[in-house]
Amino acid sequence: MIQVQELSFSYKHDRPILADINFSASKGQCTAILGNNGAGKSTLIRCLNRILEPQQGVVYVNGQNTRELKRNDVAKSLAYVAQHNAGDRFTVFDTILLGRKPYIKFEPTQEDIRIVESVISRMKLEDFALRYIDELSGGELQKVMLARALAQQPQVLLLDEPTSNLDLCNQYEVLGIIREIAKTEQISVLLIIHDLNLALRYCDKFLFLKDNRIFCYGGIEVMTPENINEVYEIPVTVQELNGIKVVIPFPNKH
């Protein structure tokens, strides 16, 4: 479980990017972080794992204050997948093995190797295991970076637009895997996502950011046309199709 209390962040003396952020996310759940560009979504998850240090506020993971943890222990608790990842001259296998770095003292153990092989199988990356990641497509690389994060066996998984480089089929496949892992491994997943329909299908909680603050946070009850319109400034309706809720926008005609 992750709990955030009174978190605020700004760059030097600029206007606040985040102000008075308070929320908690439970184990086994996927939480969508939603909002317009510039709302502070990426800044928020970077503050959670201490890539950025907030000016005030506390982040707890399973009751532990992350500011009191060493960097290596933070990496054991929280794993982060950025939106853009550079392709280095490592094989897929070695890249995923880097996810075990917080646990490796001298050299990888057989347990480390087993975990990497299990993640590769779960992410269906067997055919890519010995390829170099600078030879992969953007979508393939995104799946490898997610696999590396899963190899960390984190308690909290932070994802910045995990479907941004994926085709339609892979978007559903990857989010399905993320949701399954959250539930089976009892991981708390927080993901930034722009597609509201993917969020509705695969997420349990929805956190809307607007004007540097949390506009609303909750379950399916907060995914209303009124809230979506207020945050994104576009009229929408929320309908049910084959038992699945979908958001249909109605942009103003020009």
Per-residue model confidence (pLDDT) at position 193: 95
pLDDT, tens digit, 9 for 90 and up, residues 109-163 = 999 999 999 999 988 899 999 999 888 887 788 889 999 999 999 999 999 998 8
Rounded distance, CA 100 to CA 92, Å?
A: 14
Burial 51-85 (b: 16+ CB within 10 A, else e): ebebeebebbbeeeebeebeeeebbbbbbbbbeeb
Is the Cβ–Cβ distance between 39 and 100 less than 8 Å? no
Encode pLDDT of 204-226 as tens digits: 999 999 999 999 999 999 999 99
Distance in angstroms (rounded) separating the CA atoms of residues 234 and 250? 7
For residues 18 and 212, the answer to whether their CB atoms sit within 8 Å is yes
Confidence class of residue 253 from pLDDT cuts 50, 70 and 90?
low
Q: Delimit the domains of the chain by residue range.
A: 2-222
DSSP alpha helices (H): ranges in the chain?
41-48, 71-77, 92-97, 110-122, 138-151, 168-184, 196-202, 225-232
Hey, how many other C-beta atoms are within 10 angstroms of the C-beta on 186? Answer: 13
Summarize pLDDT for 160-180 with one digit per residue, the tens.
Answer: 998 887 889 889 988 998 999
CATH of domain 2-222: 3.40.50.300
Those residues with Cβ within 8 angstroms of residue 88's Cβ, 6 or more apart along the chain or in another chain: 95, 133, 134
| Per-residue confidence band for 12, with pLDDT thresholds at 50, 70 and 90 | confident
Residue 86 binned pLDDT confidence (cut-offs 50, 70, 90): low
pTM over 0.85: yes
Give all strands of the β-sheet with 56-61 in edge-to-edge order: 18-25, 2-9, 56-61, 64-65
**Torsion of the alpha carbons at 138, 176, 151 and 149, rounded to the nearest 10:** 50
Read off φ and ψ for residue 7, nearest 5 degrees.
-80, 130
Calculate the average pLDDT of the chain: 91
Question: CA-CA distance, 128 to 58, in Å (whole number)?
Answer: 40
